């Protein structure tokens, strides 16, 4: 009495089979990638424009580093008298 076995009472159709571990791993990886993409673009309407701005900023930083100035020469050397 009170036993709940899948082989009794037609409950076989209610048993959920676990998917193949490789399939499950792939699904989890896809879901994680999707979450990362959504999180990285949250609040950004034009991701292409953002990428262009990042590339331009990196190029500017490389030019500054190559010129050797570093952008630190400004007012730091002066004393406040």
List pLDDT tens digits, range 37-70.
888 777 777 778 888 999 999 999 999 998 875 4
Res. 26: pLDDT tops 80: yes
**Residue 11 within any structural domain of the chain:** no
Check whether 10 has a pLDDT greater than 60.
no
Question: Within a domain: residue 8?
Answer: no
| Structural domain includes residue 34 | yes
DSSP label at residue 28:
H
Helix-then-strand count for the chain, H and E: 2, 0
* C-alpha distances out from residue 48 to 12, 41, 52, Å: 51, 10, 6
Token digits of residue 54: 């990042």
Note whether residue 55 is domain-resident. yes
The reported pTM is: 0.35
Q: pLDDT confidence of 74, banded at 50, 70, 90?
A: low
Asked whether residue 13 carries a pLDDT value surpassing 80, the answer given is no
Tokens of 36: 């990362």
Number of domains in the chain: 1
Domain around 27: 18-64
- Classify residue 9: in a domain, yes or no: no
**What is the rounded average pLDDT for all residues in the chain?**
76
């Amino acid at each position: 009495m009170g036993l709940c076995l899948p082989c009794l009472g037609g409950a076989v159709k209610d048993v959920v089979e676990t998917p193949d571990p490789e399939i499950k791993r792939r699904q989890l990886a896809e879901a994680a990638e999707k979450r990362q993409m959504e999180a990285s673009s949250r609040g950004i309407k034009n991701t292409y424009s953002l990428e262009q701005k990042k590339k331009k900023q990196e190029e500017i930083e490389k030019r500054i580093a190559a010129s050797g100035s570093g952008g630190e020469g400004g007012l730091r050397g002066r004393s406040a008298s």
